[in-house]
Homo-oligomer: A and B are copies of this chain.
Amino acid sequence: MVKLRDIAQQTGYSISTVSKALSGKGRMSDETRNNILSVAKSLGYTPDFYAKSMASKTKTFVLGLIVPDITNPFFAYLTRGVERACGEACLLVLMDSFRSLHREEQLIRAARFYGVNGIVVGNSRVNDELIDEISKYVPVVIFDKECKCDNVVSIVVDNYYGAYLATKHLVENGCKHIIHFGGTQELYVSLQRAQGYEAAIKESGLKSHIVRVGYAFDDGYKAAKKLLNERNQFDGAFCMNDLVALGVMKALKEEGRKVPEDAAIVGFDDDKQLCEVTVPSLSSVRQPVEMMGETAGKMLLELINGQSNTKKVIFSPSLVVRDSSARR
């Protein structure tokens, strides 16, 4: 890497003169400046990021963001929110764990090593001990997961309430047999959503019916297909996410059931691209992901500046009603 010193040697000027020539700040003759500039260019000089930041007064914070999969819209919106919080004051370093737990752990450790000023961890599967350890060195905000560690701020959405809302909506629409597709034990959020569903069902006096599925399109499709083939009728479905909901919808169509006339469907996540584009469009529970991301960023900055006294921020989801659950 070519540095100021090299240019100084080439031109015969001092390092400081070279620096001033390049930044356009000092006093010098045009001849000198042009000379330096041309040599700098011919040598292919690029300033050292770190040295520059060190020496100059204005410090730029660096925030790390670790997500399991940037191609998932949920995390893309999260990223956007954090970026918004960064504004001009911070640089955002994005790290994608590619859904690998191992890599996620690596990244979290690396974040400390790289010396970023703080990290936001999105929907992590790593255990609390690692978080606890890292948070001793670097401020941490954890997204979509509760964390008991000290010095760690959690940003979560009230999944229970969202599920309750969605189920209640189906009840009020006159559905008598509402199935919940979801409830896998693996993820904390899916548990909460199942509980919200149960609560609303209990309240209405109907019978609860949970079909355990994963979180992919095919999971919903196959589960619903099986159910329908077994002559298990249902007139309402609350699904743990939008993909599953679309899978269920496809199965219903194939079996000749009309949505929403024969069965109403509500998803979760409100992935706009997805929900608004299908026929019929899909009702869904919306989380204010981008705003949550922005909050995560802000909380992290507070944490870095040592002004934070918040431990947890809970956001309320809302129900977006579209055609798939329109009132009959």
A62 interface neighbour in B49, B70, B77, B117, Cβ under 8 Å? B49
Residues of A34-57 contacting chain B, CB below 8 A: 37, 41, 44, 46-54
Check if B47 sits within 8 Å of A115, measured CB to CB: yes
Q: Which of A159-167, A189-197, A275-283 contacts B (4 or more CB under 8 A)?
A: A275-283
Q: Determine the chain B residues whose CB is within 8 A of the CB of A114 once the complex forms.
A: 49, 53, 60, 91
A side interface size, CB within 8 A: 61
> 22 pairs across A/B with beta carbons < 8 Å?
A41-B136, A46-B115, A46-B117, A47-B137, A49-B62, A49-B115, A50-B51, A51-B54, A52-B115, A53-B114, A60-B114, A70-B70, A70-B76, A70-B80, A71-B76, A73-B273, A79-B94, A83-B94, A88-B110, A217-B276, A249-B279, A253-B279
Q: Judge whether A118 is part of the interface by a CB distance below 8 angstroms.
A: yes
Q: Determine the chain B residues whose CB is within 8 A of the CB of A139 once the complex forms.
A: 46
Q: Judge whether A95 is part of the interface by a CB distance below 8 angstroms.
A: yes
Check if A49 sits within 8 Å of B96, measured CB to CB: no
Contacts A46-B117, A50-B59 given; 13 further ones with Cβ under 8 A? A37-B136, A44-B306, A46-B115, A46-B137, A46-B139, A47-B115, A49-B62, A50-B51, A50-B53, A51-B54, A70-B79, A92-B94, A278-B278
Find the B residue at minimum CB distance from A41.
B136
Check if B93 sits within 8 Å of A93, measured CB to CB: yes
Find the B residue at minimum CB distance from A277.
B246
A28 to chain B, nearest CB (A): 18
Q: Judge whether A304 is part of the interface by a CB distance below 8 angstroms.
A: yes
In angstroms, Cα B112 to Cα A52, docked, is: 11
A138 interface neighbour in B46, B76, B304, Cβ under 8 Å? B46
Q: Determine the chain B residues whose CB is within 8 A of the CB of A44 once the complex forms.
A: 306
Q: Determine the chain B residues whose CB is within 8 A of the CB of A37 once the complex forms.
A: 136
Which of A70, A83, A249, A253 has its CB near the most chain B CB atoms (within 10 A)?
A70
Q: Determine the chain B residues whose CB is within 8 A of the CB of A79 once the complex forms.
A: 70, 94, 96
Find the B residue at minimum CB distance from A2.
B306
In angstroms, Cα B130 to Cα A41, docked, is: 17
Q: Judge whether A156 is part of the interface by a CB distance below 8 angstroms.
A: no
Contact A80 to B96, CB < 8 A, known contacts A46-B304, A253-B279, A278-B277: yes
